[in-house]
Chain A
Amino acid sequence: MTLVERLLLWFDDRLGTAHFVRHALRKAFPDHWSFMLGEINLYAFIVLVATGTFLALFFAPDRAYESTIALSFKVNGGLLIRQVHHWTALIFVAGIAVHMGRVFFTGAFRKPREINWVLGVLLFWIAMLAGFTGYSLPDDLLSGTGMRIFVSVALAIPVIGTWLTFFLLGGNYPSEQLLPRLFVAHIYLLPAAIAALIGLHLAIVWRQKHAQFPGPGRTERNVVGSPLFPNYAAKSLALMLAVTSVVFALGALVQINPIWLYGPYEAWNVVSPAQPDWYIGWLEGALRMGPPFAIHPFGHTIPSPFWPAVALPALLFILLLVWPWIDAALRRDRGAHQLLDNPREVPWRTGLGVAVFLFALGLTLAGSDDVQARYVHLPVTSITFFYRIFCVVAPIAGFALAFALARELRAKGGVQQAPRIRLRRNARGGFDEEPLP
C-alpha cells in the first residue's frame, strides 16, 4: 500500500471521506477552453493575496507615500512585488469581466445557476472596489485626486451623502482617518469578502456540477468531461503557473504606477492627464460626459455627479444582479438548463450583450478624452461630444448587427465549414476526391 493510500485511509477512519474523495477525484470537468476563464481569476486572487501580504508587511498607512517609496526602493524585491500586485489586480478584474461575458453569452446564468451569477456580480463590484482602495493607498498625487473625486461622488448621494461621507472618512475630506480606513478595507474587509464569495461560488459549482455545451452523449442531466484527477488538475495547475509567469514578467518588464513621478498628494495640486486604472475608466468617462445638471427638490441639492456616477452605476448593478430573472421572463422559460446556448441561438441576448459592451467601451474611452484630444488636435469638448453620440449610436448599431448576424448563423446552423476531403492522385494523372468524416 502506498503512502498516499495509507494517508487517505487514515482520514477515512476518522472522517469517512472515502466516498466523497473517490467521486471527487473522478469528477467530470468539461474540456472547453472558455470554462477556464474563471480559474484565471481564482489564481490571480491567490497571487494578489500572496503579494499583498508581502506589501502589507512594509506599508504604513500613517506614512503611506514614504513607506510605499521605501518598500519600492529599499526592500529587496519590493518594487517587483508591488508591480506584480498591481498588474495582477488589473488582470483579476479583466478576468472577471471576460468570465462574466462567457456566462452571459452562453446563458450559463439560467436556472439552476442564478445564485452563482449573483455571487459573481457581487465579486465583480467588490473586485473593482478592492482595486480602487488598493491604488489609492500610496497617497500619491494621482490616486489622491481619484479619492477626492470618489468623495465628491459619495457627497452627491441624495439625503445620506454627507453623513455617509463623514462616516467613511471620519470627518470632512481630507481626513486623518482616510488612509488607515482604506488600509483596513483593502487588506482585510474586501479580501475577506472576496475569499468568502469565491469559496461559496466554487462550492456551488461543485454541488451543481458544470454546465456544458451540447454534444454527443451530453444531456440535460449529465456532465461529460475529463476527470479532475489527473487530467484536469494538470491543466488547471498549468494555468495557475501561466498566470504567475505572466504577472511576474509584467511586473519585471513593464513599469506601473510610478508614484515617485507623481509625487505625494497635496489637495491643491493635480496631475494632468489623470486616468484611473482601466476598470474605473467607465466611471471617469461617465463623469466627464455627464450633463451639467443639478436639481433642487424641496430646497435640497442633487448635484450633477449624481446622474453619471451614482444613478448609472446603481442602475447597472441592479440590472446585472436581476438579469437571470429578466432573461427567464423574456424567454418565458422557468426550466433548468444544463446545456448551454450557443450565442447565436438567442440573438436578442447576444445583441444586448454587445450593446452593453459597446456602451461600457464608449464610457471608458471618454475617460481619456483629454489624451485623445492631444493626439487628434481637436478641442476636448469635441471628443466628449463624439463619445456622447457614440454611447447612444454604437450600442444600437451593435445590437442590430449582432442580432442580424446571430439570426443568420442560427438559420444556417452555425458557421458553414467546407466539407473535409482528401485529394488522391489517380492513375490518369487527375485527382479523385474522397470525403473525410
Chain B
Amino acid sequence: MKRELWIAAALLAAVAGSGGFIAAYATGGDRLAEGISLAVAAAGLCAAGLGWAFWILPVQQVIDEIETYPSDAADRRAEGSAAAAGTREITRPRALLALLCTAIGAFAVALVVPIRSLGPRPDGELFKTRWRRGSRVVREDGSPVHVADLDVDSAVTIFPEGALGDAQSQAMLIRLPAALGGSVQGYIAYSKVCTHAGCPVALYRAQAKQLLCPCHQSVFNVVADGAVVSGPADHALPRLPLEVAADGILQATGDFPEPVGPGFWERGATR
C-alpha cells in the first residue's frame, strides 16, 4: 500500500509539473520555471515507471532460443545455387554484357557530374589577397592610417581600402621602435591569418615583439620577418610591403609576396 502511495505521489508531481509548465508558458515564459516544471513532470513519470517496473509488475524471466541464424544447411546451399544460376542467366549474352556495364557506368558518371556546380575551381583565390600596389591602409572602421597615428609598440588590424573586412586581406600593422627598423618608419605589417589553421593572429606582445595566435598558440617573431618562434605553425607570416604616400598615409606597394594563411597542397614549397 505504501508503494502505491509513493507512485501516486510521483504521478501527482508529474501532473503538477505539467500544469506548472502550462502556467509558466502562459505567464510569459520564464525559462527557469518552464524548464524545471517540465523536468519535474518527466521525473515524476520516470519515478512512477520505475515503481511499476520494480514494485508492481511480477518479476519474470523469459528464455529466447537463438534459432534464426545461421540458416540450416539446405537453405544455405540453395541460396548460393539460386544466386549462381541467376547470375549465369544474366551474364549469358557476353557481348551485350560489356555494353550493359558501359551504359550503367555512363549513367552513374552522368549523375555524378553535376557536383561540379558545388563550387568554383580552387584557383587564384588562395594565392592572392585584395592588396594592390597603392592600396591605402585602413582600419576596421575604414579610416586611413597616417604615419603619425600609431604609438610605438602598438598594433592595429588593417585592410586594403575598398576591401574592408576581407578575411584573406586582414593584416596586423605594428609600429616598432625606430631602432628596430620595420618596413617604413618603424611600421611593419603581417598577414593576420595564422599560417597554421587560419585563426586571426590577434595578440601582439609588445615587449617580446611577437604575434600570438590564441587558437593553437603559434608565436611569430615580428622583428625576424614573421618567423615561427613556437607552436604548431610550420611557416612564417607573410609580410605586407609598405610605403608612405605623399600625404603621409600608409599604403601597400603590392600584394603579399606569398599566399596567406594555412598551407594546402598546391601551395608549393616556400620558406
Q: Which residues of A contact B (CB under 8 A)?
A: 26-28, 76-77, 79-80, 83-84, 112, 145, 148-149, 151-153, 155-163, 165-174, 177, 207-209, 217, 221-227, 230-231, 234-235, 237-239, 241-242, 244-246, 248-249, 251-253, 266-274, 287-294, 296, 299-305, 308, 338, 369-370, 380-381, 384
Contacts of A167 in B (CB 8 A): 115, 118-119
| A231 and B57 within 8 A (CB) | yes
Contacts of B47 in A (CB 8 A): 238
Most interface-central of A158, A209, A239, A241 (chain B CB within 10 A): A241
C-beta contact mask, B67-101 vs A, less than 8 Å → 1, else 0? 11100000000000000000000000000000000
| A288 and B119 within 8 A (CB) | no
Alpha-carbon gap, A168 to B122, bound state (A): 12
Contacts of B226 in A (CB 8 A): none
Alpha-carbon gap, A158 to B197, bound state (A): 15
Alpha-carbon gap, A173 to B38, bound state (A): 42
Partner of A172, one of B57, B125, B218: B125
- B25 at the binding interface (Cβ < 8 Å): yes
Partner of A272, one of B40, B168, B214: B214
| A174 and B167 within 8 A (CB) | yes
Alpha-carbon gap, A325 to B60, bound state (A): 37
Partner of A302, one of B57, B218, B265: B265
Partner of A288, one of B62, B200, B216: B216
Number of B interface residues in the complex (CB < 8 A): 77
| A76 and B66 within 8 A (CB) | no
Contacts of B200 in A (CB 8 A): 267-270
| B69 and A222 within 8 A (CB) | no
Q: A162-B265, A171-B120, A172-B125 given as contacts; is B232 within 8 A of A381 (CB)?
A: no
Partner of B63, one of A159, A223, A272, A381: A223
Contacts of B198 in A (CB 8 A): 148-149, 151-152, 173
Alpha-carbon gap, A30 to B207, bound state (A): 66
Of B141-149, B173-181, B243-251, B256-264, which stretch is located at the interface? B256-264
Q: A162-B266, A242-B46, A267-B167 given as contacts; is B122 within 8 A of A384 (CB)?
A: no
Alpha-carbon gap, A338 to B69, bound state (A): 12
- B133 at the binding interface (Cβ < 8 Å): no
A161 to chain B, nearest CB (A): 5
Partner of B64, one of A223, A289, A301: A223
| A155 and B264 within 8 A (CB) | yes
Most interface-central of A76, A163, A223, A267 (chain B CB within 10 A): A267
Contacts of A76 in B (CB 8 A): 25, 28-29
Partner of A156, one of B34, B52, B120, B263: B263
Contacts of B42 in A (CB 8 A): 241-242, 244-245, 248
Residue of A nearest to B115 (CB): A167
Alpha-carbon gap, A166 to B28, bound state (A): 45
Partner of B202, one of A269, A273, A292: A269
C-beta contact mask, B29-70 vs A, less than 8 Å → 1, else 0? 101101110111111011101101100010111111111110
Contacts of A209 in B (CB 8 A): 64, 66
Residue of A nearest to B269 (CB): A296
| B170 and A267 within 8 A (CB) | yes
Can you name 9 A-B residue pairings with CB atoms under 8 Å?
A162-B265, A217-B63, A227-B60, A241-B43, A252-B32, A293-B234, A294-B263, A299-B268, A301-B268
Q: A226-B60, A241-B43 given as contacts; is B25 within 8 A of A77 (CB)?
A: yes
Contacts of A112 in B (CB 8 A): 69
| A245 and B119 within 8 A (CB) | no
| A251 and B35 within 8 A (CB) | yes
- B230 at the binding interface (Cβ < 8 Å): yes
- B228 at the binding interface (Cβ < 8 Å): yes
Contacts of A84 in B (CB 8 A): 35
A107 to chain B, nearest CB (A): 17
Alpha-carbon gap, A296 to B234, bound state (A): 12
Q: A245-B39, A370-B214 given as contacts; is B265 within 8 A of A159 (CB)?
A: yes
Interface SS of B by simple majority = loop
| B35 and A162 within 8 A (CB) | no
| B264 and A305 within 8 A (CB) | no
Q: A252-B34, A381-B217 given as contacts; is B230 within 8 A of A300 (CB)?
A: no
- B235 at the binding interface (Cβ < 8 Å): yes
Contacts of A162 in B (CB 8 A): 122, 126, 264-266
Most interface-central of A26, A152, A230 (chain B CB within 10 A): A152
C-beta contact mask, B224-238 vs A, less than 8 Å → 1, else 0? 000010111111000
| B69 and A274 within 8 A (CB) | no
| B168 and A268 within 8 A (CB) | no
B271 to chain A, nearest CB (A): 10
A186 to chain B, nearest CB (A): 17
Alpha-carbon gap, A148 to B213, bound state (A): 13
| A234 and B49 within 8 A (CB) | yes
Residue of A nearest to B46 (CB): A241
Q: A84-B35, A292-B233, A304-B263 given as contacts; is B199 within 8 A of A270 (CB)?
A: yes
Partner of A222, one of B45, B65, B261: B65
Residue of B nearest to A27 (CB): B64
Most interface-central of B32, B228, B264 (chain A CB within 10 A): B264
Contacts of B2 in A (CB 8 A): none
| B53 and A155 within 8 A (CB) | no
Most interface-central of B36, B39, B120, B235 (chain A CB within 10 A): B39
Residue of A nearest to B53 (CB): A234
| B214 and A149 within 8 A (CB) | no
Residue of A nearest to B49 (CB): A238
Residue of B nearest to A153 (CB): B197
Contacts of B130 in A (CB 8 A): none
B19 to chain A, nearest CB (A): 15
| B62 and A28 within 8 A (CB) | yes
Alpha-carbon gap, A246 to B41, bound state (A): 11
| A207 and B69 within 8 A (CB) | yes
| B122 and A166 within 8 A (CB) | yes
B107 to chain A, nearest CB (A): 22
Q: A299-B269, A302-B265, A303-B262 given as contacts; is B62 within 8 A of A26 (CB)?
A: yes
Contacts of B122 in A (CB 8 A): 162-163, 165-166, 172
Q: A226-B62, A293-B234, A294-B235 given as contacts; is B215 within 8 A of A149 (CB)?
A: yes
Alpha-carbon gap, A303 to B265, bound state (A): 8
- Given contacts A222-B66, A223-B66, A248-B38, 8 further A-B pairs with CB under 8 A are A28-B64, A221-B67, A226-B61, A269-B200, A300-B266, A304-B233, A370-B217, A381-B217
